[in-house]
Structure 1
């Protein structure tokens, strides 16, 4: 957890359900089964279940969550397994990714998708998380399993993972919104809010949308 906010971020109370407005109504109170497809440029595709993660060491961490639209939720307590341990102990031996399969795509049950380079996912603080604030994840925050990548804007920390793909290039990924809104890395420290425009400029595009979007997502959960 950082002791001060990154450039352009404003701390808010709570941790709202948030995202692209097209996904607001794609909420279900039902938790999907924990079965995640692992495939792509690999020798062997397979499906991951909760039992497969049990042998991995659990990791507890506190980290801030930075949304690209400029809000930050501070000091959230997550628990799960390191993505690095998952990759080294399960993916590498079982799927045998091909040389150069370093473009990782995540797909969610609601149709959202995100990508990150494998080298970023192998950082110490990147988790496959199943617990928040000492409680099992709820549907609002991504049950049964979600990614947590604190060094990256929140849209990379995809919820309700249903597939993880390993590719040798980016041709298999299509951004879920306008292309400029999806940076391949979206690192908070470098204010990589999107493509083509400086991060400080995108603050002024995103910030006026925050309150309205929070209300929209809250309303769809209550309906």
Structure 2
């Protein structure tokens, strides 16, 4: 059995997030769109099917590491490389040359801010399928950001909007969010060391899971 990142334990993938978002799965429109705004010259809205249709699709096996100390391993995601998607978008919206951060927003209102260096890494996907099945509401369909080297709160579900920024802005997780959230460095939060947060999250996990499991 291979080693897990520091402080993680193996678990099955389940729908999970901040408790206040448990009941916020919105209705996906008949023709989903992706809105791009912020530090750009030309804010725009893209038809999702058209945006994805011209890009090469790939399948990638990777892990999802939740900041609350559980890891779902060997998940088979399908979609397009996010950096390919972003390159096409950038040609249209013309981001500010000093833009260094990207806020991703889901249909449920969840927001997370990532460094462009992180989100444009090779393994980051704009995923449409999981284990060969189209992503449904449980796991973030129709489009999910998947960033395997960061904690799961950077892998925004139900992706509907991107905002380019010159500076970092905390997302929905607030003080619990780290700007980089790199799993290998155990960057669970910008405050307090990772090992301290292990204990906090391990104690809080049963309570945090309750609203999600109640909706199964």
Equivalence map 1:45-56=2 (5 Å): 45-49=43-47, 50-56=49-55
Q: Secondary structure at the match of 2:198?
A: helix
Q: CA deviation at 1:86?
A: 1.0
Alignment of 1:1-223 (within 5 A): 3-12=2-11, 14-28=12-26, 30-32=27-29, 33-49=31-47, 50-88=49-87, 90-170=88-168, 173-179=169-175, 181-220=176-215, 222=216
For residues 37 and 46 of structure 2, the distance between their equivalents in structure 1, rounded to whole angstroms, comes to 11
Report the Cα distance in structure 2 between the residues aligned to 1:26 and 1:61, rounded to whole angstroms: 28
The two structures have a TM-score, normalised by structure 1, of 0.91
Aligned partners of 1:159 and 1:59: how far apart in 2?
19
User: How many Å apart are 1:162 and its aligned residue?
Assistant: 1.3
Deviation at 1:211, TM superposition (A): 3.2
Matched residue pairs, number? 214
| Secondary structure in 2 matching 1:165 | strand
Alpha-carbon shift at residue 197 of structure 1 (Å): 0.4
Q: Give unmatched runs, 5+ long, in structure 2.
A: none
Q: Distance in 2 between matches of 1:118 and 1:95?
A: 16
**What is the aligned-residue RMSD (CA, Å)?**
1.5
Please state whether the residue corresponding to 1:158 is helix, strand or coil.
coil
| C-alpha distance in 2 between matches for 1:133 and 1:53 | 19
**TM-score using structure 2 length:** 0.94
Task: Give the unaligned 5+ runs of structure 1.
Answer: none
Residues 7-28 of structure 1, C-alpha deviation per residue, up to 9 Å, x if partnerless?
000001x211111111112135
Deviation at 1:214, TM superposition (A): 2.8
User: SS at the partner of 2:90?
Assistant: helix
Q: CA deviation at 1:75?
A: 0.4
CA distance in 2, matches of 1:158, 1:15: 15
Shift of 1:37: 0.3
CA distance in 2, matches of 1:149, 1:53: 18
Partner Cα distance (2:178, 2:21) in 1: 19
